[in-house]
Amino acid sequence: MSKKLKDMYAKLIRIFNSYHEVLLLVGVLVFMSAFALSDLTSRPAYWYDEAINVELARNFADFGKLDLVVAPDTFSGVGPTIGSTGYTITAPLGLFFKAFGFGLAEARVYMLIWMNVFLLSLFVVTKTLWDKYTAAFSTLFIASFAPFYGNGLSVMGEIPGFVFFLWSFYLLTKEKYWWSGLLLGLAVVSKPSIYVFLVFGFLAVFLFKRELWKQKILDLFKVGIASVGALVPWVFIYLDEVLNPLVWTEIVEHFRNPYGDAGFSTMQNIQNNLSSFWGSTTLLYFTVFLALTIVAVFLRKDLFNAHRIFFILGATYIPLAFFQYIRSFGYLRYLIAAEFITFMLFTLSLPALIDFFLKKYQNLPEKSMSIIAGGIFVLLILVQTVHLFKFSDLYSSDKTQRTIQYLDLKYPKEIIGVMNVPHVGSLLSADRKYQYLSTFGLWQFGTNSLLLSKDKLPAVLVLDTKESVQDRDRETLMANYEEDTAFSTGFTVYKRK
């Protein structure tokens, strides 16, 4: 090797040694962003709940209202009861639309920014609290985890909520209780059905703190009051609606049993989900991680003492998140935050577990534990990466986009009745649609076009399928509409006879 090449090689080594953490983080962010951008608007497919959030954001940009349009230029008036994602996601997305224009691509770019912020926050917080190896492997675990993309690119609250949680937890460890509480509140507001259980995790942390009770109560009071502060913007956004007691009744009933309107009970869901537990590779995967973490805690008492706050929080939050999962229809997205926390706990625990067993052997190289733990981490991350590219079930579809393109081309000015397809409704302007939704927690909501008087029936209907029409509406559909058979690659389109 020539002297010039040797000098260049030595320079590269010096750069790597000086900036290896930055290079790793940049590499992870580039990898994640490239994978997401390779099929931005159709993987994962644009879906029901996401579409509701996109329309909320669009209407906030255009009209200053976080509400859905149910008839031409007419809002529902019950915005606080709509959707399961908080203003912390939809309102900033509305501002993003105002700055850069409206579209599904813009919505997904907005979420991609959140994903980058998530990985940056994860790395910085874990490195600051623990060490660079835990930070690196925790970040790599999540960046190679397929559900991170399924949850992250959809306009939902799971990823932003976890960002708020990370910084809330960091500030909790620094005893910055006012700021920690505010960020905890923002996490809960972002996705209440997932992050409300953090409240119990934080409560457990304070209960087990080694302090006088008077000080515990004072600190907990600071966190609690500050967390409630996260609701202040929500109250201002919905100032008119929150004065209506019926709105509060609907909100409470939804969180009590969101599946009640559909005739399902919590106990039914629990029985169904527990019986299918062993058939879920995702649940088994994380059960192994949790089992190894628990074994490590029992074998290495110093592990728990070193990370006491995080282990207490995880031990409280994860079972509650699992309960939320089994009382649902088996939606694994309810477990996404628990899965992230499990990755972090496992990354902390595995080196301690390996070190416990290696101490039984003499004359082993000093770095044996680091080499073995690092090897296991790398192997698992490689397996996850292969799964991400080859075997992940990230459903891909551009059905919505094709439907909108056809409607804009064939029916550019007609009023369109959208029947339980918010995917399409969210991408139509407010002045040209009737919208009807019927799903868990949002039952028979909006304007059913087929119940309008004959002179007000819209020129076009968009349905999921013909079979999705209720029996009471089928006669009106058949008498007044015919299927537009020229279009067959998206949702079902009907036109007036």
Distance CA 486, CA 495 (A): 11
- Predicted confidence at residue 5, as pLDDT, reads 59
β-strands 74-75, 69-71 pairing:
antiparallel
Model confidence, pTM = 0.92
Rounded CA separation 402/490 (Å): 6
CB 474 within 8 A of CB 462: no
Tens place of pLDDT per residue across the chain (497 aa): 566 655 555 555 555 555 678 888 999 999 999 999 999 999 999 999 999 999 999 999 999 999 999 999 999 888 888 878 999 999 999 999 999 999 999 999 999 999 999 999 999 999 999 999 999 999 999 999 999 999 999 999 999 999 999 999 999 999 999 999 999 999 999 999 999 999 999 999 999 887 788 888 999 999 999 999 999 999 888 887 777 777 677 667 666 666 655 556 778 888 888 888 888 899 999 999 999 999 999 999 899 999 999 999 999 999 999 999 998 888 889 999 999 999 999 999 999 888 888 877 767 777 777 888 889 999 999 999 999 999 888 888 999 999 999 999 999 999 999 999 999 999 999 999 999 998 776 778 889 999 999 889 999 999 987 767 777 788 888 989 999 988 988 899 999 98
Domain boundaries, the chain: 15-59+88-391, 399-496
- Beta bridge partners of residue 481, listed in sequence order: 496
Q: Tell me the residue type at 338.
A: A
d(Cα 420, Cα 448) in Å, to the nearest integer? 9
Three state DSSP letters for 447-458: CCHHHCCHHHCC
Specify the pLDDT at position 255: 65
CA distances from 389 to 4, 31, 150, 290, 375 (A): 40, 12, 13, 25, 21
- The three-class DSSP label of residue 205 is helix
